[in-house]
Amino acid sequence: MTKKKQVYISLLRGINVAGQKSIKMADLRAIYQSLSLNHVKSYIQSGNLVFHSDINNKPLLSEKITQAILTHYSFDVPVFILTPAELTSAHKKLPFQHIDLEQEASKILICFLSGVASNSSAILTPYLKDNEQLEIIDNVLYLYCQDGFGRSKLTHSNIEKKLNVNATVRNLKTINKLIELADSMT
């Protein structure tokens, strides 16, 4: 009996942003395929990939991808690996039920954290504007920026520095699309 391949979603942090760490998605898919990852699909240019693997070890997958990118491009990229169930769970726990999720999807951000301290919300709250909301559930930071993330004082850099973690942020539109892509591959 052959082992069933698992569907994974990888979120790369900090590529193709402001001309930094440029990677073409076709090249990134080729790197994944060279690692024996199959049915690799990318979504937009910011390092969102959905793929099959028979490796059932997320830290090992993350390390293999990180090392392959480092070897090929000579820069380090943190790689977050999630299962479809984890991505769906993060979406279902979205705390902003009073907000029109469809209309405001680009202003609702889900930030995956490499770790979280019990006082993380208190550390980040001073960076929030009056019309922004933040909640942390497990290792996921939820942020609603009424004026958009680009105008928030709570930048990606502030999140990482203040919490001393790696983090990667996607808006709700991207999360919805990744869930849809992953569902089509199961």
pTM, entire model? 0.91
Q: Which long-range contacts (CB under 8 A, 24 or more apart) does 128-132 make?
A: 128/152, 128/153, 128/154, 129/153
Pick the CATH number of 6-82 from 3.30.70.1280, 3.50.50.60, 3.20.20.140, 1.20.80.10: 3.30.70.1280
What tens digit of pLDDT does each residue of 113-172 get?
999 888 999 999 999 999 999 999 999 999 999 998 989 999 888 999 999 999 999 999
- Looking at the chain, the whole-number percentage of residues with pLDDT higher than 70 is 96
Q: Domain map of the chain by residue range?
A: 6-82, 91-172
Residues 59-80, mean pLDDT to the nearest whole number: 94
**Would you say how long the chain is, in residues?**
186
Domains 6-82 and 91-172 share a fold: yes
CATH number for the segment(s) 91-172: 3.30.70
